[in-house]
Structure 1
Amino acid sequence: MNSNMEKPYVVGIDIGGTNTVFGIVDARGTILASGSIKTGAYDEADNYVDEVCKNLLPLIIANGGVDKIKGIGIGAPNGNYYSGTIEFAPNLPWKGVIPLAAMFEERLGIPTALTNDANAAAIGEMTYGAARGMKDFIMITLGTGVGSGIVINGQMVYGHDGFAGELGHTIIRRENGRLCGCGRHGCLETYCSATGVARTAREFLTARTEPSLLRSIPAENITSKDVYDAAVQGDKLAQDIFDFTGTILGEAIADFIAFSSPEAIILFGGLAKSGDYIFKPIQKAIDDNILMIYKGKAKLMMSELKDSDAAVLGASALGWELRDIK
């Protein structure tokens, strides 16, 4: 008998710097039950895992009990798939190396896997979203930073240490590159994340003199959403910010395509929802910079996962690949 029939559900847990969201998911990607807790409220990882389990267990029991759960998947910053550990995550309250997957396995007796949040998003897209049936694609997450998940021949690329695929930290500006949270200068995420768009807005407003709707907002409070709202209202400066951002991202993607010749580049996150304002300059920069043999081959696509569900779905997709603990 198919073990997926005996165990028809998986659990997805997404650990963010602010909130942790968890849910029970069926094979079609329907979230049957979900909940959340504040990540930052727990200084000790042990207390945090206890609290997640305390909130998760009633949901599991209400959906047939532990025997119906095939596995738990966790998406987390600095998550290492090989070791099931979170390692030196700057935005989480627990320092050092935390054996998180083992901690959940011990408490719940359910096999648990963990990976970083962008890899989880890519696996979710492959299981439930736009990348169903694809064997080669790159997922790029445009959030506070720029994350990426690389799938080659149907396999997530983890590298020899579990940390492959940090395309957001490829250096794309050598001269006077912006300082990145990683301590280096000129990383892609300093330009093409939501935070990067806000930085560009402040630079443009200082360097240029023309009127803009963005001038009515205190510079330090400007967000990428403000830039989008202004662009929609025909604000030229805001539209130029998107052109600048999309061009840099498109140039980088042209290089990424040369690395793995993917069928698609899939964009995920709030910034990707800016539609043509971001997609048109990205596509133009890809077309202008790509090596001839790759021209027109890789599709530029928007994620099909709903934002509110994507984190849990991505993490949960890891759970289907796990074997039962003996």
Structure 2
Amino acid sequence: MSLLDLSNELAIGIDIGGTNTKYGLVNHRGEILAQGDIPTDRSPDVNEFINDLHTALTPILAEFNAKIRGIGVGAPNGNYYTGTIEYAPNLPWKGIIPLAQLIGEKFGVDCTLTNDANAAAVGEMMYGAARGMKDFIMITLGTGVGSGIVANGHLIYGHDGFAGELGHTIIRPGGRLHWSTGAEGSLEAYCSATGITLTAKEMRQKYKDSLLNNYKEEEINSKVVYECAEKGDEAAKETFRFTGQILGEALANFIMFSSPEAIVLFGGVIKAGDYILNPTREYMEKNLLPIFRDKVALVFSELKEADAAILGASALAWES
């Protein structure tokens, strides 16, 4: 397809979250021409949700009057192979939902679905820090820890569409109990924003003069930890060092699995900057075999956090 053809086409990117669903109209350069959102949890009936989505997008599509290349959707437990959302615990629609088929039929356009972390990886490969790379791992550090693995220019989906759940790998066997899965010692239990909050609450017990002790239990979160670290608080800085150690050790395992050119970090947690990046890099390199050392770039995403979900989802339409 020529660039001229691409310039006359737009893609729709849809990011489905537990509370809100974001959507946008995106061109092939990764520019979001229009965007908005609707509640995800307004109705337990997925058809009503799709009707709301269609109602919201119809005036936008009419305004731009462009050919729509396709629709890309990122969603929790989204299966690329089947186009279904399967048993997503934080969505109102239970069981197996044939979402790609339902959206495609409603809009009259091909629809591609994958999970939200894989969508972010595709977006990073098309528009962000991984442009031109064929082997990289995307790690999203937010409320949870998501991931997308790209090898030889293709996302790794596995035989059933659910490969790449690196956040649920066990990095501390018998360690911290995960609040949702019940697993002990998973990466997400330590390196998500939720995990950082739990670590900070443990650390402030050891550092009695910590600024963190000026906050009520429910007031502590990863943002507060960062603010305290900026003020020189040792408990806060140790929280990030410990988090970076665990993340770095996990990344070393992932590197020795797929030998990526880079690991791209994305999400709210990376706002901590060098507090988390430096120990992550240190422990990543320390735990690698010599043949892998000093070969893998550790970089932050180049996508704006507010736009990344829409861009990642829209990228699915361009690559399909």
Relative to the length of structure 1, the TM-score reads 0.95
- Aligned-residue offset at 1:210: 2.7
Q: Which of these residues, 197, 214, 217, is aligned with residue 216 of structure 1? A: 214
Q: What does residue range 1-150 of structure 1 map to in structure 2 within 5 Å? A: 2=2, 4-5=5-6, 7-65=8-66, 68-150=67-149
Q: Which runs of 5 or more structure 2 residues have no equivalent in the other structure?
A: none
Q: Any conservation in 2 of the 1:172–1:186 contact (CA below 8 Å)?
A: yes
Q: 1:222 to 1:52 in 2, by over 3 A?
A: same
Q: 1:180 to 1:259 in 2, by over 3 A?
A: farther
- Aligned-residue offset at 1:130: 0.4
For residues 116-136 of structure 1, give each alpha carbon's deviation from its aligned partner in whole angstroms, at most 9, with x where no partner exists. 000000000000000000000
Q: Which of these residues, 244, 259, 275, is aligned with residue 277 of structure 1? A: 275
Q: Any conservation in 2 of the 1:191–1:200 contact (CA below 8 Å)?
A: yes
Q: 1:53 to 1:209 in 2, by over 3 A?
A: same
Distance in 2 separating the partners of 1:72 and 1:83: 15
Q: One-letter code of the match for 1:292? A: P
For residues 258-305 of structure 1, give each alpha carbon's deviation from its aligned partner in whole angstroms, at most 9, with x where no partner exists. 000000000000101211000000001012111110000000000000
Q: What does residue range 193-204 of structure 1 map to in structure 2 within 5 Å? A: 193-204=192-203
Q: Any conservation in 1 of the 2:243–2:276 contact (CA below 8 Å)?
A: yes
Q: Any conservation in 1 of the 2:7–2:27 contact (CA below 8 Å)?
A: no
Q: One-letter code of the match for 2:134? A: K
Which residue is 2:155 aligned to? 156
Which residue is 1:318 aligned to? 316
- Aligned-residue offset at 1:60: 1.1
Q: One-letter code of the match for 2:176? A: G
Aligned residue-pair number? 319
Find the residue that maps to 2:319 and give its secondary structure: coil
Q: Any conservation in 2 of the 1:180–1:187 contact (CA below 8 Å)?
A: no
Distance in 1 separating the partners of 2:296 and 2:303: 20
Q: Which runs of 5 or more structure 1 residues have no equivalent in the other structure?
A: none
Distance in 2 separating the partners of 1:177 and 1:29: 40
Q: Any conservation in 2 of the 1:4–1:70 contact (CA below 8 Å)?
A: no
Distance in 2 separating the partners of 1:104 and 1:301: 35
Q: Any conservation in 2 of the 1:180–1:186 contact (CA below 8 Å)?
A: no
Q: One-letter code of the match for 1:38? A: P
Relative to the length of structure 2, the TM-score reads 0.97
Q: One-letter code of the match for 1:161? A: D
- Aligned-residue offset at 1:78: 0.4
Distance in 2 separating the partners of 1:311 and 1:321: 16
- Aligned-residue offset at 1:179: 2.6
Q: Any conservation in 2 of the 1:122–1:149 contact (CA below 8 Å)?
A: yes
